[in-house]
Amino acid sequence: MFRQSIAVRRWACALGMVALAAPLSAAPRIIPRAPSVWLDDYTTAELKSRIDKGCPVVIVFSGGTEETGPYLALGKHAARIRAYGEAIARNVGDALIAPVLHYAPNPPYMTPFPGTISLRPETFAAVNEDVARSLINGGFRRIALMSEHGPSQKPLAEVAARLNAEFADKGAQVFYISDGYTRARREIEAAIRAEGKVGGGHGGLWDTSETLAVDPSLVRPGPYLPGTIDNDGNGPVNALGYSGDPTGANARIGHEFGAMRVRLASAELSAALKSAGACRK
């Protein structure tokens, strides 16, 4: 799915270059584009029109900027969010994505590594709360909070519960969508263990494979070596900053894992929207 979208973009770019080289008298070929799902591609007037005509849900998708050892670049979360978020929004339908949030809480063992940018959990929660409030104040009535990052899950659940209690009688709802991370990770790691490999890891098999699938430029070439493998790879990182075993990582299985995350998150959000009922303007 993601490989196809990359190929389509490259094909469109190449076709654009051909069009530039064609004689001015040649009629340009118009390639239709699907409307963007990214909030910051729209004007305020265009967003107001979307709100007036429907009940778009805005996905607030946070990642993180953190070390992941010698093989993965700091921007792995943002790259995966751009791919997964767009696919989720298109699956759901009337959905937009707020600008990616790049910073998140991190455990203390990550902070000494260069490039890790960490927020206190209360700061992270406050940022997400303020983003959700801003969207609600602007007229949106459906907000979905989700994250690609483990330590972000609890603060997001708490923010959603707090805002829902406040806005329960005002027509706005905030959904905490976790299946794309928590449930998907549990199922992905179980599948890896079934193959006799180390299931988890910060920079392990699934982490490296999923990044290879969405942006191979963010993954340094192997040979990959195992990190610490305590607690099925989900224990402490080694001196290089990673755990688990990325040996055998490849884009093919990364696509499979990514597709699972998209499917589970899309299903959970679609069910939440259906349960929410009609939109109160």
Phi, psi of 142 (to 5 degrees): -135, 120
Confidence (pLDDT) at 2: 39
Instruction: Give the H or E element holding residue 96.
Output: strand 95-97
Confidence (pLDDT) at 66: 96
Task: Put the strands of the sheet holding 95-97 in their side by side order.
Answer: 95-97, 57-62, 142-147, 173-176
pTM: 0.87
Confidence (pLDDT) at 43: 97
10-residue stretch averages of pLDDT, the chain, 281 residues long? 40 34 48 84 96 96 96 97 98 97 95 96 98 97 97 98 94 97 98 97 98 98 94 95 97 98 98 92 68
Confidence (pLDDT) at 61: 98
Integer Cα distance of 280 and 276 in angstroms = 10
Residue 275 region by backbone torsions, left for phi larger than 0, else alpha for psi between -120 and 50, else beta: alpha
Write out 28-93 in H/E/C secondary structure: CCCCCCCCCCEHHHCCHHHHHHHHHHCCCEEEEEECCECCECECECCCHHHHHHHHHHHHHHHHHC
Confidence (pLDDT) at 168: 85
Confidence (pLDDT) at 234: 95
Query: What is the number of other CB atoms lying within 10 angstroms of the CB of residue 151?
Result: 18
3-state secondary structure of 180: coil
* Of 247, 234, 225, 231, the residue nearest 201 (C-alpha): 234
Confidence (pLDDT) at 17: 32
